Amino acid sequence: MYIRIPKGWELPAGSITPEKHYWGRRELLLAAGFSGVLASAPRNERYKLDRSLTPEWAAKSYNNFYEYTIEKNRVKDLVGDFQPRPWTVEIKGEVAKPLKFSIEDLEAQMPIEERTYRHRCVEAWAMAVPWMGFPLAHLLKMAEPTSKARWVRFEGVSRPKEMPGVRYSGTYDWPYHEALRLDEAMNELAFLVTGLYGKPLPKQNGAPLRLVTPWKYGFKSIKLIAKIELVKDRPATFWNTAVPEEYGFYSNVNPKRPHPRWSQAVEQVLPNMDRVATLPYNGYGEFVAHMYKGNEI
Ligand code: MTE
């Protein structure tokens, strides 16, 4: 990954025409095969923002998604061939009850709610968005982790035919994979996401299922989750394997620990790239600091 600081907003003016000029909300949802579960999800007021919400068009137009491209403003244009349905999610490994869900069953059976979270990329850009989804802990508890389960590994999918970034960047260890310690995965903030701004999750933001861990740098928030495995030993993770000296396993947001190539003290908030001081644990210390002794990297 590399940091690139755009000079103002670089999106071509034509592509920011609000979607509602083309589609009514209901037609849009039905076209996406959307059942309405997300549309009625209540907002959980426990998670407050310290800044205004990022405009929807910006969150959907500036993405990190290496399966497609390293160019953030082109991801949305390259996701067209990807087929997010049918989709199966498996929970397996050190669990008493292995589970398998279609994405539709998962959405119907989980307690879907909306949460507004800050989101801080390791590259120092940030946003704040309303995710729709359910606590990861809810799903893990259903699977009943055994006493041997210490880590939770997440795996995406690798489909070269649908993903130009996978076709052309052969050196990465696809599919994208990430992991959390079990207590981190059980933390109330760890959230599995199926929607954004009251609509189905756009492909560029990780449809049909992604993780969000707002106290960690964004690369821990794996998109395209197809497998969740509980394991005894700490799993390898995509960026930690690719560039271990730059991307630690834990990667909690820490303004005092600079990235080897840039400071992490300040972030630039979409869409105007306003500069704002970065907070320890991205401002979520009250929820997560107790899990760490301070030396996790
Ligand atoms: N998940 C997959 N499968 N592939 C990726 O390249 N990029 C990560 C994360 N999850 C990535 C991924 C990074 S670096 C960030 S900052 C966030 O997704 C970006 O999420 P967003 O595009 O919804 O803002």
The string of pLDDT tens digits covering residues 18-72 is 444 444 444 455 445 555 566 679 999 999 998 999 999 999 999 999 999 999 9
Which atom of ligand 1 has the smallest separation from the CA of 72?
22
Task: Give me the helices (H) in 94-144, please.
Answer: 103-109, 136-143
Q: Quote the pLDDT of residue 32.
A: 52
Q: What percent of the chain has pLDDT over 90?
A: 83
Spatial distance between the Cα atoms of 78 and 95, rounded to a whole number of angstroms = 37
- What are 202-245's pLDDT values in tens digits? 999 999 999 999 999 999 999 999 999 999 999 999 999 999 99
Model pLDDT for residues 263-297, shown as the tens digit of each residue? 999 999 999 999 999 999 999 999 999 999 877 88
The pLDDT of residue 21: 45
54, with CB counted inside 10 A (0-12, 13-18, 19+), is buried
Q: Is the CB of 194 under 6 A from ligand 1?
A: no
Q: Is 247 in the pocket of ligand 1 (CB under 6 A)?
A: no
Structure tokens of 1?
A: 């990954």
Q: Which pTM value belongs to this model?
A: 0.89
Q: Is the dihedral of CA 181, 227, 216, 124 positive or negative?
A: positive
Q: Answer positive or negative: Cα dihedral of 204, 207, 213, 216.
A: negative
How far, in Å, from the CA of 266 to the mean position of ligand 1?
20
**CA atoms of 21 and 124, how far apart (whole Å):** 33
Reply yes or no on whether the pLDDT at 15 is more than 70: no
The whole-angstrom separation of Cα 185 and Cα 179 is: 9
What are the tens digits of pLDDT across the range 57-109?
999 999 999 999 999 999 999 999 999 999 999 999 999 999 999 999 999 99
Mean pLDDT within 144-152: 98
| Alpha carbon distance 199, 208 (integer Å) | 12
Atom of ligand 1 nearest to the CA of 1: 14
**Token pair of 181 as six digits:** 């310690």
CA atoms within 13 A on the CB side of 30: 5
3 state SS of 191: strand
Does the Cβ of 67 fall within 6 Å of ligand 1?
A: yes
Q: What is the enclosing helix (H) or strand (E) of 226?
A: none
Residue 8 confidence (pLDDT) above 50: no
Ligand 1 pocket residue status of 125, Cβ below 6 Å: no
Residue 218 CB less than 6 A away from ligand 1: yes
Average model confidence (pLDDT) across the chain: 90
pLDDT score of 4 more than 80? no
pLDDT, residue 297, reads 86
CA of 13 to the centre of ligand 1 (A): 24
Q: Residue 52 — φ and ψ, nearest 5°?
A: -75, 160
What is the C-alpha to C-alpha distance for residues 221 and 66, in angstroms, rounded to an integer?
A: 13
> Residues 136, 145: contact at Cβ < 8 Å?
no
pLDDT on residue 261: 95
Q: Is the CB of 64 under 6 A from ligand 1?
A: yes
